[in-house]
Each structure stands twice: as structure tokens, then as C-alpha cells.
Structure 1
Amino acid sequence: MVHALIFDMDGTMIDSMPSHKRSWAEFAQRQGLEVDISDVMRRTTGRTGIECMRILFGLPEMGEDEAMAHVHVKEAVYRELFSPIFAEVAGFKAFFDHAHACGLKLGVGTAGDRQNQAFAYQHLQMKVAPLTTVGGDEGLPGKPEPAIFLEAARRMGVEPERCIVFEDAPLGIEAARRAGMRAVGIASSHHPDELTGPHVLAVVPDYHALIASRFLETHHVVSS
């Protein structure tokens, strides 16, 4: 039996990836960097802020303090852009509440930092808070490494094989596989074909599709 669900945040809980893309473009312009933003998104989505900055600047040896200073600037731009148009991924809260009512443990494993987590929760106004949120500023390696998901499972007291991860990005889908967890692809920001794998139970456009298909019941995650 599955005992816990672990959700990525950006692009999975909240429809934030277009604003992240815009903020990367604006940040790069401010820094005088000429980059392919689509390529930056491909290489960084799911990685921690520090990892992203080292990739963006092409400086793998960039110090943590310098990288974090850049992260704070970039993420402030993101929050300014997304705040007026904030939206959840369709059906997320309804699905989350249903899973909670069914007795599942619910956690979040995100590359986002504490400021972005607080921003998301403030706007989401969730009825029930996740049991734990593991973030990208806690010293763990970002996705596709499995550390963030494994730490979320550990904090909830659940074995990895009893968890299902919900992810919108290929690096996150791979992180779930490396963690020994099954996954659901949320195709809000990537083509469904990029979110497949032997451990992937379903790929859907949003949570309304999971609710309509009775995903939790069909896959015997909860009793019918």
C-alpha cells in the first residue's frame, strides 16, 4: 500500500513556470548574460538555486554566498512577476484535500527556497498544511539526485517504495526513480512524452484528470 504522496512545488502545485522563465530572462539581462533561456530552463528545472547559478554563469566553482546573493535577486523578480497572476495547477487543492481525507501522509519536495515556499503557501491558502516541506536551500543536492524526496519520506516516517511523487519536470521524474518511488507526471510545463518511465503510473495535464479518473482508488492507493 502507498502511505504518502510527495509533491514538487513549481509547475506541480502552482502554475509558476512561465513566471520563472520570464524571471530568468530578466535576471540574465540585468547581468549582461546572453543565454538561451529555454536551454537554461531545461538544464536547471529541479535543481537548487546555487546549482542553477553555477550553471547560468558557467562557473561550477562559484561560492555559495555569491550564488545565494544572485538567487535572492532572481527569485524576488519571480515573485514580483507571479504574484499578480498567481494560480495553482488546476485542481491541485481539491486533489490534495481528498488525499488528506483518505488518510494519506502528504509532503512537499522542492528545489525552491524558504522564501518561495512561504510565498506559495501564502497564496495557496491551503486548508491543510503538508506534514513536511523539504527545500532546495537545505544543503541537499537538487534533482535528478533523489535526496530531496528521500528526506521528505524520512521526515514523514514512510519507506520510499510506499511513496508516490508528483512532478512536472524530467529531472524530478528521474529523481523519483532514483529514490525508488513511483511517480505521476503533471504535464503543465513539459510534453507528456518527457515525463514517462517504468515507474510512472500516469501522465496528466492537471489534477482534474486525476480526480475524474479516480486515480487514488483505481491504483489502490485508497479504498474505493
Structure 2
Amino acid sequence: MLGLPEEARACLFDLDGVLTRTAAVHAAAWKEMFDGFLRARAERTGDTFVPFDTVKDYGRYVDGKRREDGTRSFLESRGITLPEGDPGDPPETETIRGLGNRKNALVLKLIEEKGVETFEGSIDYVRRARQAGLKTAVVSSSRNTVQVLRVVGITDLFDARVDGVVAAERNLPGKPAPDTFLEGARELGVGPEHAVVFEDALAGVEAGRAGGFAYVVGVNRVNAEHAAALAERGADVVVDDLSELLGGNR
């Protein structure tokens, strides 16, 4: 009893914030990167330094998106335009790609120093879904998905993986476009009408709704405001933990 519609044949799980507690790590890395950039820019221009907000700015502009998309989106919200740059730009380069690489270096540093924790209720849910015969995939914008899955020892819980690396290789646009979730369903051999999306990010919920999936589960790890926003963006149900879904079909 997974709390899913009867037509569900596959589950597509986001990683950060749904399965692992790495969303907080990403938020901290985004803040450190953006605050460093914004502070240096304010000192050069004489403008007031306004720090990155790890709740409002993170959820609205960067959560669930590819690094370059999140970087660009937040800077645009501050009226800042930077050159796109190249994927190999050094972290100190003030380009969209350079700042994104700076953020990624910070994430890897934090993961190495603090490790990665999982949401045990979510991991148990994945196991139960597999026991019930449903196929499972992890669909994440992160390019560090393989490393994180390996660190927490859950690689074998998924039949397919579509992450930032795969998306770049296959030229798939990131969330809120539905393409990565659609690719995950294709990898599992099912149509979107038989797949369920599990997402904590607003952009991810939008992607699930745009893709015509059978059901979209919003996972709220923030507050009541975020829960309401997940519902507004198209989540069929919003839970604080996937364990809440166990016990009955919807």
C-alpha cells in the first residue's frame, strides 16, 4: 500500500531533499558562493550588499535546477548579467559557468567534510515500492548523483539514473522542463501516464506536472509556505516525508 494511483508502474525520485539531506548542503554552498560574489561586487560598485537567502532565494531561483540555470536565474533576480562562459571556467572566473563551478567545488568540500545523510522514511519507501514490483529511477539535476548514491550505499535501489551528467550528454533541458523525468520514464520502459514523480523543489513539481505524469508527490522539507507553493505548482499531494504515503491507495 504505497498511497499511489492504481495505474502507477514506476517511481521517479529526485535526490536532494527527497532521498538525501543534501539540499541543506547545496543551500549552504549556494549561499557561500553567491555571498562572496555579491560582497565583492558591492565593494567594487558601492552598492548595498544584500545576502543570498537560503530559504526564499534558494527555493525560488536555484533549487532543483541545473547549476548554470540556477546561477543565471538568481543573478537575473538581482539585475545582474554575466557572460555565460565555458564549462571548464575556473571557480574564480566571474561567468555563469565559473560561479557554478565555484558552487560545485564548495558542495564537494562540504560532502567530504560532513558526509551525506538520508531520509530513512524515503529510503524505506523506495524499498517497499520495489518490493511491490514498481520500477524506480533517480532523476536529479546534480552532477554529483553517482558519488552521493555510492556514499550512502543506495545505488542498487534504482533501475535507472538521469542526472546532470546524463542530461548534458543527451542535451536535455533541466527542470522545470519535464525532459529529464520523461527520459527517466523512458529508461524504465513506461509512459508518463504510468509513472509517479517525487519532488521537493518547485521547479521539479512544475516539471512533473508539465510532463503529464500520473501523479506528482510534493515533499515539503521547509515550512508551510513551501508546502502551499508545491501544491500551487501542481503537486497532487504534499507530504513532509514519504512514510506518510504508506498505508493506503489514493
TM-score w.r.t. the length of structure 1 is 0.84
Match of 1:72 in 2: 101
After superposition, residues 71-90 of structure 1 pair within 5 angstroms as: 71-83=100-112, 84=114, 86-90=116-120
Q: For structure 1, list consecutive stretches of 5 or more residues without a partner in the other structure.
A: 220-224
Match of 1:55 in 2: 73
Inter-partner Cα distance in structure 2 for 1:92 and 1:128: 15
1:133 match: secondary structure = strand
The aligned amino acid for 1:105 is K
Work out which of the residue numbers 144, 147, 157 in structure 2 matches 1:129.
157
Contact 1:90 1:207 in 2 (8 A): no
Deviations 1:43-89 (A, max 9, x none): 11121112123334443751342444443331221232245252112
The aligned amino acid for 1:59 is T
The aligned amino acid for 1:62 is E
Inter-partner Cα distance in structure 2 for 1:170 and 1:52: 12
How far off its partner does 1:176 sit? 0.4
Contact 2:12 2:136 in 1 (8 A): yes
Whose radius of gyration is greater, 1 or 2? Answer: 2
Contact 2:10 2:134 in 1 (8 A): yes
1:108 match: secondary structure = strand
Contact 1:8 1:167 in 2 (8 A): yes
Q: In percent, how many aligned pairs have the same letter?
A: 27
Contact 2:35 2:52 in 1 (8 A): no
Contact 1:47 1:136 in 2 (8 A): no
The aligned amino acid for 1:123 is V
Q: For structure 2, list consecutive stretches of 5 or more residues without a partner in the other structure.
A: 1-6, 42-48, 90-95
Contact 2:85 2:98 in 1 (8 A): no
Tell me whether 1:183 sits opposite 2:216 in the alignment: yes
2:25 match: secondary structure = helix
Distance 1:77 1:154, change over 3 A: same
Match of 2:138 in 1: 108
The aligned amino acid for 1:145 is A
Q: How many residues align?
A: 213
The aligned amino acid for 1:81 is L
Match of 1:16 in 2: 22
